[in-house]
Each structure stands twice: as structure tokens, then as C-alpha cells.
Amino acid sequence: MKKLFNLILLCFFVIAGIAQPRTITDFNKDWRFSLGNDSMALHKMYNDKSWRTLNLPHDWSIEGDFSDKHPTTANQAGLPAGIGWYRKTFTVPATSKNKRMYINFDGVYRNSEVWINGHYLGKRPNGYISFRYELTPYIVAGRSNVLSVKVDNSAQPNSRWYTGSGIYRKVWLLTTNQVAVDHWGTFVSTPEVNNRLAKVRVQTSLTSRGGNNANVNVETRIIDRAGKVVATKVSTGVAVSGSTTIDQEVVVSEPVLWSVTNPYLYKVKTLVRSGNTLLDEYDTNLGIRYFDFDPEKGFFLNGQALKILGVCNHHDLGALGAAVNTRAIERQLEILKSMGCNGIRTAHNPPASELLELCDKMGFIVMDEAFDMWQKRKNRQDYSVDFAEWHKRDLEDMIKRDRNHASIFVWSIGNEIREQFDSTGITITRELTKIIKDLDTTRPVTSALTENEPPKNFIWQSGALDLLGFNYKLAAYPELPKRFPGQKFIAAETMSALATRGHYDMPSDSNRLWPPDSKSPFATGNPDLTVSAYDHVYAYWGSSHEDGWNAVKKAPFMSGIYVWSGFDFLGEPVPYPWPARSSYYGIIDLAGFPKDVYYMYKSEWTNKPMVHLFPHWNWPAGKVVDVWAYYNQADEAELFLNNVSLGVKKKSGDTLHVKWRVPFQPGTLKVVTRKDGKVVMTQQRVTAGKPAAILLSADRTNIKSDGKDLSFVKATIVDANGNMVPDADNQVTFKIAGNGFIAGVDNGLQTSLEPFKASQRKAFNGLCLAIVQSNGKAGPVTLIAEAEGLKSSRVTISSK
């Protein structure tokens, strides 16, 4: 009886016209994949039973072996590219016969071509752009259908960093009525905001595909976090054949403003009706905030001065490659947020939508970037070959997709574009800026520039930029307001400082430019291709972290900073040649383990008391060791070796650390920070013995059983007393039991040529990582770590 009642109730809702008319189907499971090119695979009847079955998102490059023979070169991590095919067989219900159906791709790298049942739908060369195709004319409701996708990443080299290959972002199937909200069909803005009210403008684009005009009512509801409707507006219009825009203004009283510390989001619900029939329902997130970039005082959010404390990040997720995973992105943002970071620059391309959704929810100020090059190439086969034909459509699609994100405050039209050095920069800058302004006038447009002499910079001479973003050259900061009077500024990219986690070269007060210039071959460096983790090594165009941050901190007109880079990333292994295959730039290494300079930022960007003492305390007898400490909320720091004071130090001038030079003796090194004579924090380093055991620690012991969620498990090599052994490099083997699998392994070493898709990894400087992923079933997952001669360890993760 209960089942019958529910069925009758469901039928009532459908008849009453309040059923959910828009259906979004997760289209990421059970694809067939083949690496290689078979032109017959586009046909519906092609036999793909021998192909591999997998779930999306998928990056085939990360599954390959490292080699300097791959045409991607070390700049793309020496991983393979090539051509791959994906096919999915599916059935849509017979009830879909009078509906419109669309396939949506969030990103395919690159040169994707798509067919449905053998019918060609189109091509998108840009590997970072989102797009969709309509399936309606070719799909057969109630019967089997086949979607075929060719991905061609064979033309190499086409990037200055690792791209990945394949359908590496999510895919979904959308079913709508004949009248519906169009693709990216709402634009929500807040033309007037204060503490008393917010005027919310909602522009809704409707599409009518049935060939007839339809009288419709468009109801807009603004819903708060608790689910309460706080404002409503209903408008009447005619959905003409094609596209129609309904423009509404809704007033929210006493709004909760979005900020980096309270990223409050409302929901805008758009309901489209014809009479009593609900034709469509469409949700858009809304963050109510107002902001300003001031030429003299920098950035203001909701009327309060705020320094943007940001990092640049490439899109790869370390051992997971380019394949998008929401939890992996969230983990990166959590680590950055703990450091005090409040900004992300998407370097140098449109990001995954999951990143922007998380930035909305977690409170980051995003510079959303479109291009790394225009017509002038940086690599032989890069986007410059497609720019002339595709840049307008690609840029329009980026703006339409992303413009409702509260976290986005700046649009960037390019990074270190070579047209800034000739007059074509004027024309192209004006064109790109107009494309953006035609779609969104609520945010400034910038470009990350390298030339800070006005007569030499043609992008600047276009007069089209609202905000000047400058990369590096911090010595010129004091002159910028004079060179560019009345302009607004941001440090779009800074530092390019280098480090290998846990490696230390002395003396630490001797700065090293690696490489020293653009012309000389890099003949110095370390034989093992490491870089010292003291903040004293950087590329010739960059600076130390302390110098770069001090330059921005002391410049009130500089709205903020985006450090290059937040995390190490695959590819671009400056300063070294092969077998270096990933970057040294990160504040955090590729595995997600912070380098020491992470704590410099934490001492400067957060108010919570902290202290960080380094390096480790395992050295040859008598070696003189440079000991550093970062701290905050204290006046001084005192160092003790085996309970004997080695003196009190205070930060002075622009120096953001304190330093002692200490002859090594085994034992305990301890730092104590004080304020007004009272102890604030202490930290110690202990001389470790020989490796004795593995210690496993999971970032989360409870994950969702959705087949996507992750737990990042750190394996630490410890001595008999539980102290990390700082130079341990034991081979660790991981075994897993239960409802999960090992999605990847890593150790953060830039020169490791061990595969990421494996069940073993050598520790590097005492640490390695295993990434555990749900297999889609509920139940416990147990990870066991073993190494020869060491006590094993296990951790159990609950998958629910």
C-alpha cells in the first residue's frame, strides 16, 4: 500500500506540473577506451569489446612511463601523449522522445571530435574549454546509442607544462523540455550592495526549440543557506523560437555578504512555467559582495581593505595527473587556506568548474585566466595555431560558464603574451577586452605583463586594461605609480623561488640564481638535482620568497600577490634537465607535503601563534649547521641544544626569520618563542636513529562510497622512538583490502621516475604518499604499508 501511495503521489506531482523537468545524468561511468587511432571507431556498430572499460575523468598520460624520448619533452614531464578513443553505449528512456538532449564536456585535452551514432557533432581544439553538443536529432529513445570521442594530443610539443591527455574533466547528459533555460543561461550580478540591501540583477536566457512561441512566467527565488526564500520576483514573457532574455531585479534585505572568512552563498532558483506546467528549474549560486581596486590603497572587499594573498596553480593533481577529482582539489585548497592563502590564479587557462565551486565555498579570490599565448607561439604546436579561428568562441564560453562564481574577481586575458612587444598587442587586447565586457562589466580585466616600461608595452598602450598585473621585477614596484599614473596594480606572478623538500645546502645566507641568466648554460647545481630548501635559491627573473613578499607588503598600491607557485607541478623542471620532470617552484611539493617556506607564509599571513624550526637534526659530527626559525605573535626566539641556550634572536628589518649557526651535536634542538617574556610556542628537532618502522596517517578516515572520494595517506619512516628519519629512502609497498583501491603514489621528489600508478614507492627524505580511492561500495578499506626490515603499519578508512 505504501508503494502504491507513493506511485499515486508521484503521478499527481507530474500531472500538476511540478515535477523536476530538467534531468542531469552523470555520464562518467563505463566508457570504453583504446589508446591509438582507429578511424572506424566513430561508427555505431564498431566492435569495441576488446577495449578497456574505465570511468571518467581520465588522463592516459599519467598512466605512462617517464621517458626523455617522448615528444612532450621534460617540460611536460616526459610522459606520453598521442591519440585515444572513447566510446560509451547507453540507452535513454522512451519518455525522452519529445525532449531535448545534450552532451556536456567540462574539458578534453585536446583536439576532441565527437560523434553520436556515427553522426559528426563537432570539434574543439582547446583542451581547457567546456562545451556541449545537442544529441536530439540523432538519438534514438528507448534503444541503444553510441557516443564516440576522438582525442588527439599527438601534435607536440604544445605546452610549457604538463597537460595530461583525454577526457580529463566530467561529462554529463542533460535532458530538457522544448522550452528551457539556455546553456549557461543565467547571469546574476549585484549592481548595488550595502549592509541594508542588495539589488540582485538576474538575466535569464531562454531557448525555445519547438518551433513555436510560448507564453511563459519566469519566477526567480533567492534562497539563503538555511533554505528560506528571502526574495522573489515573477515576470511574464514570450519564449520565441530561438533565444529570449528575461531581465529581473530582486531586492534582498540585510544580506549576508560573501567574504574570504565567511564565504556565504545564496541560491538563485529560476522556475519557468507555462500556465501551471513547470517547464524548467535552474539553480545558480550567488555570493553577495562588493569590491574595488584603488590606485593608491589597493584592494577593498565589502568596504574593508584586504591584501590578496594568493598563489598561482597549474591544473594537475600530482600523482592523479590532470584527471579532475573534487577531493584532491579540496585538499590542495585546505592546505593553502591553513597557510593563510586567500587567492588563486588559474595558471594559465580556464580551470575545472569544481575548482571554482570550491573557491566559492571556501573563500578564495580568483583571477580566472584565458590564454598563455595569442598568435605568437611559445611551443611549436600550442594554442597559437588555433587562436585566430577559436579565441572568440573560447573566451565567450569561459566568461559565460564562470561569470556567476562569487570567487572570481578578475578576468585575465593572457600570461606573458609576446604581443606586448609589438603593435598587434594593441588590437588584440582591445578585441579580447571587448569580448569580456560584452558579457560581463562587473569585474576588471587584466593581463599578466612582464614589460613595465610604458613605451615598450603595447598591451598597456591599448588602454583597455582595468588592472595592471605585473610579473616579477619587484625592484621596479616603487616606480610603477609614476610610470602608470592613476592605474591599479596587482602582482600577478612573483618569486619563482626553488626548493626540494628536506634538502639543505649551506651557507644559507648565500643567494643562488639557478639559472643565472637566459643565455648561459646552467653548469652549477647539485649532482643529485636537488635544490636547497632554505629560501635562498631562485631563477634569475625571480626572487626569494621573503624579498618578493616584502616588496608587495610595503607597497600599499599593490592590491595583492599571486606567488609562483602554490604546489609543485608536473613539467617545467627549472633549473635542471632530464631526469628532472617536475617543478621546484612550489611552496608545497607534488605530494602535498609543505616545504619549509610554507611556514614563512603562515607566520606572515595568519594570526594564530606558530613556530617552525628547521632543518632536521641528523648531521655529520662537528658540521656547522644553519638553523632557521619562522615565528609570529612573539618578540623573540631562543634556541637550545641539549638544554644549553645558544642565544636569543629577534627578527630585524625585512628579515622574516631568525638564524643561528650551530656546530652539530646529536641530541635535541629546541626553539622557544616569547612575547613580553612569556612563552608563546616551542618546537624541537631530535636526532633520529636508524629506520625502524612505518607510521601511516590518513588525512581522513571517513570517505564517501561514491567511487570518487579519496583519503591521502602519509607514510613516515620513523626510528624506534617514533622520530622521523630525515634521510630515509626505504622502498615502501602498499597493500589494500576492502572497498577501495590505490589511485596513486608519490614522494615529492622532482627526479623520481617511478610510476604514479603503482603499489610501491621509495620514501624521499622520510616520507611518501598513497592515495586511497573508494571503489563505489560501502565498507571498510584497510591500507597496509610494508618495507624490508621495518615494522609494518596499517590504517582503516571507513567508506560510507
SS3 592: coil
Choose among 336, 319, 329: nearest CA to 586: 336
CA distance 201 to 356: 21
Catalytic residue among 113, 354, 369, 416: 416
Residue with cell string 607544462: 161
Catalytic residue among 113, 281, 493, 546: 493
As a 3-state breakdown, the chain gives helix, strand, coil percent values, each rounded to 5, of 15, 40, 45
The answer to whether the CB of 784 falls within 8 A of the CB of 736 is yes
CA distance 688 to 725: 6
The strand ranges marked E within 178-265 are 179-193, 197-208, 214-223, 229-239, 242-253
CA distance 250 to 231: 7
Sign of CA dihedral 448, 452, 454, 456: negative
Per residue, what are the HEC states of 259-312?
CCCCCCCEEEEEEEEECCEEEEEEEEEECCCCEEEECCCEEEECCEECCEEEEE
Half-sphere exposure of 93 (CA within 13 A, CB side): 6
Q: What angle do CA 705, 707, 711 make, to 5 degrees?
A: 70
Choose among 583, 752, 572: nearest CA to 65: 752
Residue type, 51: W
- Give CA separation, 175 vs 130, 272, 397, 427, in Å: 18, 15, 20, 41
CA distance 100 to 185: 15
User: Which triple of cell numbers denotes residue 477?
Assistant: 614596484
Q: Kindly tell me the burial class for residue 233, based on how many C-beta atoms sit within 10 Å of its own C-beta (0-12, 13-18, 19 or more).
A: middle
User: Which triple of cell numbers denotes residue 178?
Assistant: 522544448
Residue 296 is among the residues annotated as catalytic for this protein:
no
The answer to whether the CB of 320 falls within 8 A of the CB of 744 is yes
DSSP category for residue 66: -
Residue 416 is among the residues annotated as catalytic for this protein:
yes
CA distance 781 to 740: 6
Q: What angle do CA 627, 538, 649 make, to 5 degrees?
A: 25
The answer to whether the CB of 309 falls within 8 A of the CB of 261 is no
Q: Kindly tell me the burial class for residue 63, based on how many C-beta atoms sit within 10 Å of its own C-beta (0-12, 13-18, 19 or more).
A: middle
687 CB-near residues (< 8 Å, 6+ apart): 617, 618, 666, 667, 668, 723
The answer to whether the CB of 161 falls within 8 A of the CB of 378 is no
| Cα dihedral value 578, 579, 583, 584, nearest 10 | -110
Element (H, E) at 649: strand 644-649
CA distance 432 to 534: 41
DSSP category for residue 388: H
The answer to whether the CB of 551 falls within 8 A of the CB of 654 is no
- Paired residues of 784 in beta bridges: 735, 794
- Paired residues of 738 in beta bridges: 781
The answer to whether the CB of 761 falls within 8 A of the CB of 778 is no
Chain-centroid distance, C-alpha 696: 27
Which of left, alpha, beta for 670 (phi over 0: left; psi -120 to 50: alpha)?
Answer: beta
CA distance 682 to 230: 49
User: Which triple of cell numbers denotes residue 468?
Assistant: 595592471
Q: Which residues are catalytic?
A: 416, 493
